[in-house]
Structure 1
């Protein structure tokens, strides 16, 4: 009998670990140590700043599929100028044309600062759309250095996702792009990078403007065919399609989808779906809710690979949200939150907007490439627009 009682008591002592509660407890401990760390960092700043040189010139280019932005800073991290440029996606225009455009932007920036044509910038960070592949990245840099040796002494090249992330977060986090296409990337504090999505319109782009437009068109085509009834009436979307594409029937839309395909033109129809949401059209609201769920899936997938220091930080896991689709957050919110809640993988997160161009993140990466540190105003580069806990 005594032995049985002892076994019974031992069983009662076994506990199931509540991961959510464990994170909450650790988060409280983290808050206590943050103040001491901040005070220590602040104390050494003046000494470090004495090493900065105003003669240093570092550039950063945020390159997209429609336009690009160049920022040039000095050795203290102060912005000296900013200019706009054209599309610099090498998959769309080729490597030779891409490097020509990048060099032209840099030379224009140098002229604005009265830097002689023969004097290159110390380093330029390139955070460009389509730069996820190491071989082509290396080819871009080698071509720049060979053809335009006076533009910059060196380059640091990365994807546009990394540039966006490094503009607002120092230790790591997630960047989630939802513009014409979609893409997500996690940077852990040890420098390891993990991606989700970014595979283009043929096999990915979920939650993007292109996906939203395609989803709307698909609902209309299937509903009219009788193949599959749309989840809500197409009474707004179908007339909006005819108006946007300037057609009278579905056959007339086919050239836009095939012979004369332009991803950005298709994606532009997403604006009409957003207008439909403003008018409380049920199908438009349904599509944006679905987009919210798919964007949340990116966060859920990457959060499984995120280190605990990112999850336990004040405000939880940080997600920088980039792209025009986020302007319609109020229509995606329910779908996004419901997906996060239903999957029970993330217990706290903060969604952030950048308050400045991600060309600054490219500058920061370039400064690190040449081992030139300076204080980066991460907090002023971001703002929180949603917190989930």
Structure 2
């Protein structure tokens, strides 16, 4: 048996693929398996559902190796939980790493580079030619994740409320009210301040649309998001240079819906990096994290002999 399994468990959805050599035997999707986001029971249900799907597609009862990139992989019990489910599906050898790790290998296949993640959350991770790693951000939605979908939604509401105080024109609060089903500012504030609260990341597409239509407050939010993402890349670049002294520039790749789907963020992200480091190669297409999970699973299978 030479088939391997790759899992990309992001904050919003989970992707799984079974590959044998160059042949993709199965691919499936389910909801998030991030326990902090959906809870342990739903995460378990989503993981088992996607595994049942891909193993049925492939017609297999086990695989030689599996690599799972999971948001919040370092949280207590997550690795043991995923490994236990893998055991139930006949996985011979497995690893559970952060989703940023599989995305980095999806871009660079073990080689040097910097990856900016900007989806529901954000994180930047870099690897030097000597294998050393550096990072910036990824400190959770409440404490960091600048430039992420969550950050955009949260700060759009905050700036919308400040614009209301200043009597500045913006459609942000009107738009959020429609999406949240709130009829007054008081209802909107109470819902936004509740625990666990609404899905701020889900507001990001609407904020991007408002910015495209010329809403100055929404545009300011996206401009700040792009600036923060550029700053994260430059910070990791500086740390790699200071601590690992790479010869020349290392390439930059990216993944996530904020850069992928928001034209304004994407263009300003590219432009900001070019201004700061004109010689630094920046990928123009989005990385597929699932490809990194499969690649890592294949390396794991090879090391097992």
Give the TM-score, by structure 2 length: 0.85
Question: Does the aligned pair in 2 maintain the 1:177–1:184 contact within 8 Å?
Answer: yes
Q: 2:31 aligns with which of 73, 86, 96?
A: 86
1:220–1:234: 8 Å Cα contact kept in structure 2? no
Q: 1:283 aligns with which of 217, 220, 224?
A: 217
Asked if 1:156 corresponds to 2:101, the answer is no
Asked if 1:221 is matched to 2:166, the reply is no
Structure 1 stretch 233-242 or stretch 293-302: which is displaced more?
A: 233-242
Q: 1:103-114 to 2 correspondence within 5 Å?
A: 103-114=48-59
Cα RMSD of the aligned pairs, angstroms, is: 2.8
Whether the 8 Å contact between 1:127 and 1:161 is mirrored in structure 2 is yes
Describe the SS at the equivalent of 1:349.
coil
| Deviation sequence 1:33-63 (CA, Å, 0-9, x none) | xxxxxxxxxxxxxxxxxxxxxx401000111
Out of 138, 148, 151, the residue aligned to residue 198 of structure 1 is 138
Q: Deviations over 1:140-161 (max 9, x none)?
A: 355336xx44430111211111
Aligned to 1:24: none
Cα 1:333–1:132 change in 2 (3 A) is farther
TM-score, normalised relative to structure 1: 0.68
Q: Which residues in structure 2 correspond to 1:229-268 (within 5 Å)?
A: 229=166, 233-259=168-194, 261-262=196-197, 265-268=199-202
Correspondence for 2:64 among 116, 119, 122: 122
For structure 2, list consecutive stretches of 5 or more residues without a partner in the other structure.
none
Take 1:294 and 1:102, find their aligned partners in 2: how far apart are those partners? 33
- Residue 16 of structure 1 is matched in structure 2 by none
The CA deviation at 1:345 is 6.6
Rate the CA distance shift 1:309–1:329 in 2: closer, same or farther, 3 A. farther
Q: CA–CA distance in 2 between the matches of 1:280 and 1:223?
A: 15
Q: Which of the pair has the greater relative contact order for Cα pairs under 8 Å at 6+ separation?
A: 2
The answer for the alignment partner of 2:3 in structure 1 is 57
Say yes or no: does 1:69 pair with 2:8: no
Q: Deviation of residue 261 (structure 1)?
A: 3.6
Structure whose alpha-carbon radius of gyration is higher? 1
Give yes or no for the alignment of 1:181 onto 2:121. Answer: yes
1:241-297 alpha-carbon deviations (Å, 9 max, x no partner): 33332323321113322335445x222222221111221222222221111101111
**Higher mean displacement: 100-109 or 205-214:** 100-109
Q: Distance in 2 between matches of 1:368 and 1:87?
A: 26
CA shift in 2, pair 1:191/1:106, >3 Å: farther
Determine helix, strand or coil for the equivalent of 1:304: helix
State the alpha-carbon separation in 2 of the partners of residues 371 and 153 from structure 1.
13
Shift of 1:123: 0.7
Distance change (3 Å), C-alpha of 1:121 and 1:337: same
Whole-Å separation in 1 of the counterparts to 2:160 and 2:89: 54
The answer for unaligned runs of 5 or more in structure 1 is 1-54, 374-389
CA 1:190–1:94 in structure 2 vs 1: closer, same or farther (change >3 Å)? farther
Q: Is the 8 A contact 1:64 1:160 kept in 2?
A: yes
Partner-residue secondary structure (3-state), 2:230: helix
CA distance in 2 between counterparts of 1:217 and 1:114 reads: 48
Any idea what SS the aligned residue of 1:269 has? helix
Instruction: Tell me which of 230, 235, 241 is aligned to 1:301.
Output: 235
